[in-house]
Amino acid sequence: MPAVARSRIQQKNRENILDAALEVFSQHGFRGATLDQIAEGAGLSKPNLLYYFPSKEAVHTALLTGLLHTWLDPLRAMDPKGEPVAEVLAYVRRKLDLARDYPRESRLFAGEILQGAPRMRAAIEGDLKALVEEKAKILVRWMDEGRLARVDPVHLVFSVWALTQHYADFDVQVRAVLGPGHDPFTEAGGFLETLFTRLLRP
């Protein structure tokens, strides 16, 4: 088999493994997940899976590493040259869209944090912390310029996380309380825009 073809097959198998693992981990958590479940979901034998990843921990770490980049992108996109309230509202919208489009990933991330972040503490204390600090300085500058109401900038970011990821992590509860005929993300979008506009308008 040509090397290029092998490379494509290997890439596809790797993607299938990670997709299956995402489903298994988001349903059962790290402790409840098994390599047999992941292999079955990927349509591979367990020995074949172990060719790509030597352990359950390695699969989980690969998922979390990719997820962290996805999770940080909405905050990275906050433009320091933009209009402050609009930039924060756009960030809220991006985070809500992420919760809507990637609910399994959100639950995987939440599960890791609830366990004490044993497999991604370094990334949280490194890239994530540095990005939050960078954007907090921008928020403070906007406040100093009188273009944004003065609030704690880091807790503002925390509140965006809490008020958006909730809709993915507690999806069953949200839908049970709202009942049929409601679109949680559309309704949340309007509510959060009003909430943060009133909070942040100078």
Task: Locate the domains of the chain by residue range.
Answer: 1-54, 61-200
Q: Judge whether residue 4 has pLDDT over 60.
A: no
Contacts for 174-182 with beta carbons within 8 Å, 24 or more apart? none
pLDDT of residue 3: 46
Confidence of residue 40 (pLDDT cuts 50, 70, 90): very high
Query: Tens of pLDDT along 142-170?
Result: 999 999 999 999 999 999 999 999 999 99
Same fold? 1-54, 61-200: no
Say how many residues make up the chain. Answer: 202
Assign domain 1-54 to its CATH superfamily: Homeodomain-like (1.10.10.60)
Closest-CA residue to 26 (of 12, 40, 37, 13): 37
Q: Supply the pTM of this predicted model.
A: 0.83
The fold adopted by the segment(s) 61-200 is Tetracycline Repressor; domain 2 (1.10.357)
pLDDT of residue 7: 84
Q: Judge whether residue 5 has pLDDT over 70.
A: no
- Residues 138, 143, 148, 150: is their CA dihedral positive or negative? positive
Rounded to an integer, what distance in angstroms lies between the CA atom of residue 78 and that of residue 96?
15
Burial letters for 87-124: b for 16+ Cβ neighbours within 10 Å, e otherwise? bbbbbbebbbebbbebbbbbbbbbbbeeeeeebbeebe
Can you list the alpha helix ranges (DSSP code H) found in 77-152? 84-101, 103-114, 121-123, 129-144
Closest-CA residue to 30 (of 99, 118, 122): 118
